[in-house]
Amino acid sequence: MSKVYIGGKLYDKADAKISVFDHGLLYGDGVFEGIRVYSGKVFRLPEHIDRLYDSARAIHLEIPLSREQMAEAVVSTVRANGKKDGYIRLVVTRGAGTLGLDPRKTSDPQVIIIVDDIALYPQELYDNGLEIVTAATIRNHPNAVNPRIKSLNYLNNILAKIEGIRAGCLEALMLNHKGEVAECTGDNVFVVKHGILRTPPTDAGILEGVTRNAVLELARAAGIPAQEMTLTRHDVYTADECFLTGTAAEVIPVVKCDGRPIGNGKPGPVTRQLRERFQQLVRQ
């Protein structure tokens, strides 16, 4: 039976509950992180904790634990669940309050840590590649809700995800308010052209992915030139290779976008190399 951490205590899954008056439920008012456990070790925990606290600060949410206490809570919850390989969902809500938006009327922000399994894509898609479509729903404007905030309000991504599913795809490409490539609904996007790796910069209106940053480091260490630069759909359509990165997805090839084959329609050598290097990194 899995154990869920809520506010300093561990509860059985069936008993893990918070108030229906929590503003996390009522308004999506809160922040979260998805983190991986590999061979019993939490992958890049400090980066995830930093991003969580940055997200919280951006929405004026005071987390009731220090970063060190939060890291310890994550590690001890993983230990309590005996998970060697798994997925952590770390959530901080605004806390229970009255009906109405005013966050001053809430108290007791809830820290929730769930340790479970996740499988986004079947193995054959890692071997043969994924097909994506461009969603009509654009990424949140940075002056509305900045995409760098990993908030509990994921409707922007969910609406685009529904478009992808309706088109028979498991992922959808999202553009920003300028019509440039931002990211997919749950993953960052990379293209390869003439051996150069390219991915949109953070100011394109994207979440700065922990896996994205790890892959950029791996590329540089392997001598693969890597650039963060503005991309358009034209760059995706004419790329030699394309792949997505994310905590749950890791590194997954994309072989078709909007019905157009990318490169030769098969996962490319740079994608394969970076996927292998990523697997080595997490198994170290």
- Per-domain residue ranges for the chain? 3-116, 123-283
pLDDT of residue 120: 83
Rounded CA-CA distance 239/190 in Å is 10
Q: Tell me, yes or no, if the pTM score tops 0.85.
A: yes
Compute the C-alpha angle 254/132/122, nearest 5°.
65
Tokens 């590649």 correspond to 129
Residue 152, phi then psi, degrees to nearest 5: -75, -10
Evaluate the CA torsion angle 67, 81, 212, 276 in order and state its sign.
positive
Beta bridge partners of 261: 256
What tokens appear for 180 in the block? 């440039």
> Considering only CA atoms, which of 273, 281, 189 is closest in space to residue 223?
273
Compute the C-alpha angle 120/122/128, nearest 5°.
120
Active site residues: 150
| b/e sequence 147-176, b meaning 16+ C-beta within 10 Å | bbbbbbbeebbeebbebbeeeebbbbbbbb
CATH of domain 3-116: 3.30.470.10
> Considering only CA atoms, which of 185, 83, 96 is closest in space to residue 134?
185
Rounded CA-CA distance 166/3 in Å is 35
pLDDT of residue 121: 94
pLDDT of residue 250: 97
- What's the order of all strands across the beta sheet hosting 30-38? 9-12, 3-6, 111-116, 86-93, 30-38, 41-42
Rounded CA-CA distance 185/194 in Å is 27
Third-level CATH fold of 123-283 = D-amino Acid Aminotransferase; Chain A, domain 2 (3.20.10)
Compute the C-alpha angle 240/185/5, nearest 5°.
130
| b/e sequence 67-97, b meaning 16+ C-beta within 10 Å | eeebbebbbebbeebebeebbbebbbbbbbb
Stated as kind and residue range, the H or E segment containing 171 is strand 171-175
Tokens 């394969």 correspond to 272
95: alpha, beta or left? (left if phi > 0; alpha if psi -120 to 50): left
**Regions of the chain with pLDDT less than 50:** none
pLDDT of residue 60: 97
